[in-house]
Amino acid sequence: MLTPKFASMISGLLLVSTAIATPLSSPGNHQKRAIPRSSVPPTMAPYDRADYVYDPEKEESGFDRRTARTFDSDAGASHTTKRSPTDLERRYDGWEATPICNKESFGGKADYNQVNELMDTLLMQNGKPEVGAGPKKCAMAGCKNGNSIWFCNDPTTIADIERASNQSLLWGPYRPNLYFGVRPRIPESLLIGLLWAKVEDYQSVQHNFRHTCEQHEGMAGYGWERYDPRHGGVQTIHDAGNQIDITTSFFKETGEGSGDRGGNWGVRIKGVPRADAQEDLKSTVVFYASTEGQGLNNRLEVKNVDELQGGGFDGDVVLKGENLGLGEYKIVVKGDEGTENKHPSVTHPSGSEKDLGKTLVKSSTVPEDAIWQTKPILFAMLKEQIDEYVEKYTKENPPPPFQLYTIKSEAGSGNVHFVQKVFEGAFEFDVLFSSSAAESELASSDLSKGISEIVKTFDTRFDSIFKPAAPFNSGKYLDFSKSLFSNLLGGIGYFHGNSRVDRSYAPEYEEDNEGFWEEAAEARARADVKLEGPNELFTSIPSRPFFPRGFLWDEGFHLMPVVDWDIDLTLQIVKSWFALIDEDGWIGREQILGAEARSKVPEEFQVQYPHYANPPTLFFILSAFVDKLTETAPSSKDAEYSPQLLDKEVATSYLKELYPLLKRHYNWFRKTQQGDISSYDRKAVNTKEGYRWRGRTPRHILTSGLDDYPRAQPPHPGELHVDAISWVGLMATSLQKIGLFLNEKEDVEKYTKQLTGIRSNIADLHWSEKDGVFCDATIDEFEENSLVCHKGYISLFPFMLGLLDPADDGNKIAKILATIGNKEELWSEHGIRSLSIADEAYGTDENYWRSPVWINMNYLIVSRLLALAQDPTAGSDNQKTATKLYTDLRINLVETVYKSWKETGFAWEQYNPETGAGQRTQHFTGWTSMIVKILGMPDLSKGSAKVRDEL
């Protein structure tokens, strides 16, 4: 009999499913839908990708139409030609373009943006291209006027390395906002995901369908136990609410014979009922594949639709597709053969219509802008089937929940395909993706072998790089460390879409007047915010459930462990970030790309402002890269992960490519965050090196990264922020080092001079002898310079960023060490507090950066203490103090994060300085994962030993 809860469930499904504005269409009822002009990337506007169809009459000898490949008749090499400008970046950043359609020549390397713009211009002038074959190692797009655009492969080593790396890193779980979501690093391509739920009753199912990572779903922990972006890994999701543990074992086959389209991959999905569940627990699992974009060369369909019988498929479900960047491919969702899977038996009359021992498939076409809304789409399909059941069997006699919550099989073509299985008890099935460019298709036996090999190779490599040092050399810390690092890597994602930007450049944004924050707020309210892009970003993220997007100041910390593991991966991420830089040098501090990303962000925080800076932590990574280049040459075993270290010429090419962008960002920061020294009575050797963050309000400086950390009150346009000048010092130090490596003598001289001025002004403008720390400066009511000291992380920035000389600044360092180690100030048994316990603002208001222990700041502190302990120029007293503080702090930090992880199953955003409990955002495996490097730092409890600088 229908209960009120059952009626409520149907109503709830209706509410969720109506989130999709446009009705779904079933297979065989498709209509070609024009892409709204506003959603077309600028580079795509003049033409439709469906027009990229090869004309056989234009083909010449040596041209493979299916794979769009030209052959080098001498060397036998082949190079994939991109059929759409939007795909050029994926494999051919280093191509040369010589267009002659418009009788002009543009020789030399062109980045993909330039090539796209050029293609658009030529296509608008000359019409749509016809593609023909070109000479050796070249691809040609023929123009209507008979001329041609030639794209010729650049045979330099850097291009070869990038192509090889793109091959092994093309695919991955690059949708980290999902419990399991796979996609390639290609825009408008293939999206893969997984949903599941317990189906034991009517009322809880809609709330228990898992898909996106969420904080409120009562998970007992989830994440990657082992994961390497080049090979794959094993993830377990402890779903207490659904009483089941889900394991996703992901493997990539990208070696010899895998072709030039990213190779094959597979995932084994396994479910085991938890201890509190019945052995015959009923679970439903839904795998899906969807395609973004439109056109004849972007399709996906169920290939073996003729095997659909009795409401489902007895064996495998085979999907075949094609994409401009991926070529042709096949996805096989395996059946029960070779497994011990069980399925519920249905005594209800509906059981004769739909056998739950079969695999159910629903294909549909949905609006392109709704593709990412997977759960509402699925719920709409479930609601459709529920309505049919209720109409047929009445509300008083519905099918059991595990039958009711199923899709109606309608397999065919479409842009979204759901594959549903219903299990009783434990289960296991494979999903296998095979590229037509590979020599052979992936089999389940290959997946089994690959999963086993991933675990072994990961463990071996991890032990050689991050093995915990005493006193943490027991097995429990090793597993803990592997988990945190794997989840840092597992948080790497690929994002594509437009973003909201305010380029009004209102004069109020200069923040030059008293009360400037009110004027700036009014300017923001009237600004004409526009969508820019689309852009793409390859990046790690702070937290899968809460911050599943790129943050500029987080990323440098994220990459500190990654650069030790895989330099090439690290440099690709850095390059991806700097590809976002505008002509002035600005990079948006938070990358909210596309509607899916915006769905996780309140509207008032979505807009990015080109005068807002952020701590430039990526300079840490480039400085570390140069350090590694000057160390002992790596062994050949690093070839896959660090080819740049094996070839200094390649490394130099990379740095030369990035160096101008680094300088542009540095100059932009200095200009937009400039502080005022000369207008006030301030004594400083240098009149230029003073800085303050824009975006200031009485309660926050979000742009500083330390949102609510107390500052001068009220805000004043004459403020100078000690953390801002310290970050400029870090950039100058890094650029000086890179310039020296590249033999840019004039630049080195310039940055050396600027760095000298920065260090002088840090002392002249920010040091408080009375307080023994560095402080912000402001202008008081008498229009005089005044230091405002809130002891905490801000006070330590010159120390943390290595801007103090151990010999010359010994007295200042001694006072800073005393503050760090003072239990009445910053020291706690769980790490260094963000704010002094003696400060009147301690623990007040939001209490975000006003007491908690943050691992990224503590990492900088413990690293600097280690360097000081190892430096004989620091003086014996400071060395001794630093050694003691380093040893105790390292232990406190590790034990705090480990115990909380053990108790809760998660790493956390911050830690309570009194109890050590993890708090605020869970699954914060971004910079909290830096504990992995702290675990691997040397044990100095028995004396110091010379090691390299951790930064």
Could you give the C-alpha distances from 817 to 357, 838, 857, 938, in angstroms and in order?
Answer: 68, 17, 15, 20
Q: Which residues of 775-794 are buried (b: 16+ CB within 10 A; e: fewer)?
A: bbbbbeeeeebebbbbbbbb
Q: Could you say which of 536, 566, 909, 950 is catalytic?
A: 909
The pLDDT value recorded for residue 26 is 53
pTM: 0.85
Q: How confident is the model at residue 160 (pLDDT cuts 50, 70, 90)?
A: low
Q: Measured over all CA atoms, what is the biggest interatomic distance in the chain, rounded to whole angstroms?
A: 89
Q: Which residues contact 875 (CB under 8 A, 6 or more apart)?
A: 806, 807, 810
pLDDT digits (tens, 9 = 90+) for 879-908: 999 999 999 999 999 999 999 999 999 999
698's tokens: 């009485």
Q: How far apart are CA 30 and CA 106, in angstroms?
A: 43
Q: How is residue 323 written in tokens?
A: 């994409």
Supply 4's token pair.
């009120």
Q: For residues 283 and 156, which has the higher predicted lDDT (pLDDT)? A: 283
Residue type, 841: A
User: Is 479 designated active site?
Assistant: no
Residue type, 26: S
What six digits make up the tokens of 755? 């760095």
Listed residue (608, 453, 538, 487) closest to 169, CA to CA: 538
Q: Which of 413, 382, 203 is nearest to 294 (CA)?
A: 413
Residues 442/265, Cβ–Cβ less than 8 Å: yes
- In this prediction, residue 233 has a pLDDT band, given cuts at 50, 70 and 90, of very high
Write down the pLDDT at residue 631. 82
**Mean pLDDT along residues 127-147:** 37
Mean per-residue pLDDT for 564-573?
96
- Examine the pLDDT at 100 and tell me if it is beyond 50: no
Q: Give residue limits of the domains in the chain.
A: 4-31+165-460, 42-155, 470-492+804-951
Residue 341 has pLDDT above 90, yes or no: yes
DSSP 894: H
pLDDT at residue 102 in the model: 36
For 33, the token pair is 């839908």
Give the pLDDT mean for 863-874: 97
Q: How far is CA 791 from CA 729, 770, 795, 850, in A?
A: 21, 12, 6, 10
In Å, how far from its chain's centre is CA 400? 41
Instruction: Retrieve residue 899's tokens.
Output: 């115990």
pLDDT band at 177 (very low <50, low <70, confident <90, very high): very high
Lowest mean pLDDT among 142-151, 334-343, 350-359, 368-377: 142-151
Which pLDDT tens digit goes with each residue over 593-617? 999 999 999 998 999 999 999 999 9
317's tokens:
């479900």
DSSP state of 349: G
| Alpha-carbon gap, residue 274 to 426, rounded angstroms | 10
Average pLDDT of the residues in 641-661: 86
The predicted structure's pLDDT at residue 158: 61
Helix 157-169 crosses helix 648-672 at what angle (to 10 degrees)? Answer: 80
Distance CA 410, CA 416 (A): 12
Cα–Cα distance measured from residue 885 to residue 277, given in angstroms and rounded to the nearest whole number = 48
User: Quick one: average pLDDT of 280-307?
Assistant: 91
Structure confidence at residue 105 (pLDDT): 33
Query: Cα-flanking dihedrals φ and ψ of residue 527, to 5°?
Result: -65, 150
Higher-confidence position of 892 and 947: 892
Q: How far apart are CA 853 and CA 916, in angstroms?
A: 9
232: left (phi over 0), alpha (psi -120 to 50) or beta: left
pLDDT for 637 equals 59
pLDDT at residue 91 greater than cutoff 90: no
Backbone angles phi, psi at 168, to 5 degrees: -80, -15
513: Cα separation from own chain's centroid: 38
Q: How high does pLDDT run on average in the chain?
A: 85
CB-side neighbour CA atoms (13 Å) of 216: 1
Measured between alpha carbons, how far is 241 from 379 in angstroms, rounded to an integer? Answer: 19
Q: Which two tokens stand for residue 52?
A: 């990229």
Q: 161 pLDDT band (50/70/90 cuts)? A: low
Q: Tell me the residue type at 45.
A: A
User: How far apart are the C-alpha atoms of 445 and 173, rounded to whole Å?
Assistant: 21
| Average pLDDT, integer, range 656-661 | 97
Residues present in the chain in total: 951
How far apart are the C-alpha atoms of 656 and 658, rounded to whole Å?
Answer: 6
Assess whether pLDDT exceeds 60 at residue 29. no
- The torsion angles phi and psi of 195, rounded to 5 degrees, stand at -130, 155
Which two structure tokens, joined as six digits, stand for 820? 């760090």
Average pLDDT estimate for 580-589: 98
| Residues 516/520/521/522 CA torsion (nearest 10 deg) | 110
- Asked if the peptide bond before residue 534 counts as cis, ω within 30 degrees of 0, the response is yes
CA distance 404 to 387: 10
Percent with pLDDT over 70 in the chain? 81
What does the pLDDT read at residue 116?
46
Listed residue (164, 178, 194) closest to 263, CA to CA: 164
What is the mean pLDDT of the segment spanning 711-726? Answer: 98
- CA–CA dist 499, 262 (Å, integer): 28
The rounded radius of gyration (Å) of the Cα atoms in the chain is 29
d(CA 911, CA 903): 13
**What gap in Å lies between CA 158 and CA 283, rounded to an integer?**
49
Q: What is the pLDDT of residues 796-850, one digit of tens each?
A: 999 999 999 999 999 999 999 999 999 999 999 999 999 999 999 999 999 999 9
Q: Determine whether 681 is an active site residue.
A: no
For residue 39 the two structure tokens come to 């959603």
How far is CA 654 from each of CA 80, 568, 659, 886, rounded to the nearest angstrom? 23, 11, 8, 36
Closest alpha carbon to 200 in 274, 283, 271, 275: 283
Looking at residue 136, its pLDDT comes to 27
Token code pair at residue 740: 């020296």
pLDDT digits (tens, 9 = 90+) for 495-544: 999 999 999 999 999 999 999 999 999 999 999 999 999 999 999 999 99
Q: Which of 214, 707, 829, 949 is catalytic?
A: 707
Contacts of 303 (CB under 8 A, 6+ apart): 318, 319, 320, 330
| pLDDT tens column, 763-774 | 999 999 999 999
Query: 290-315 burial by CB neighbour count: b if 16+ within 10 A, else e?
Result: bbbbbbebbbbbbbbbeebeebbbee
Sheet containing 78-80, strands listed edge to edge, beginning at the edge strand earlier in sequence: 63-64, 69-71, 78-80
C-alpha to C-alpha distance for 675 and 680, rounded to whole angstroms: 11
More confident: 140 or 894: 894
Identify the pLDDT of residue 543.
98
**What kind of fold does domain 4-31+165-460 have according to CATH?**
Beta-galactosidase; Chain A, domain 5 (2.70.98)
259 falls in which pLDDT band (50, 70, 90)? Answer: confident
Beta carbons within 8 Å of 785's beta carbon, 6+ residues apart: 680, 681, 682, 718, 777, 778, 779
629 or 726, higher pLDDT:
726
β-pair partners for 283: 198, 423
Find residue 109's DSSP bridge partners.
96
Phi/psi for 75 (5° steps) reads: -95, -15
- When pLDDT is averaged across residues 366-388 and rounded to a whole number, the result is 95
pLDDT band at 634 (very low <50, low <70, confident <90, very high): low
* List of residues 6+ apart from 836 with CB closer than 8 A: 790, 791, 792, 819, 825, 826, 842
Confidence of residue 63 (pLDDT cuts 50, 70, 90): very low
How far apart CA 301 and CA 362 sit, in angstroms, is 11
- How far is it, in rounded angstroms, from Cα 555 to Cα 541? 8
Q: At what angle do helices 618-629 and 722-741 cross, to 10 degrees?
A: 30
Give the residue ranges of DSSP H helices in 602-721.
Answer: 618-629, 643-646, 648-672
Closest CA to 411 of 306, 288, 284: 306
Look at residues 751, 687, 691, 683 and name the one whose alpha carbon lies nearest to residue 723: 691
Q: What was the pLDDT predicted at 643? A: 73
**Which of 792, 801, 834, 813 is closest to 728 using CA atoms?**
801
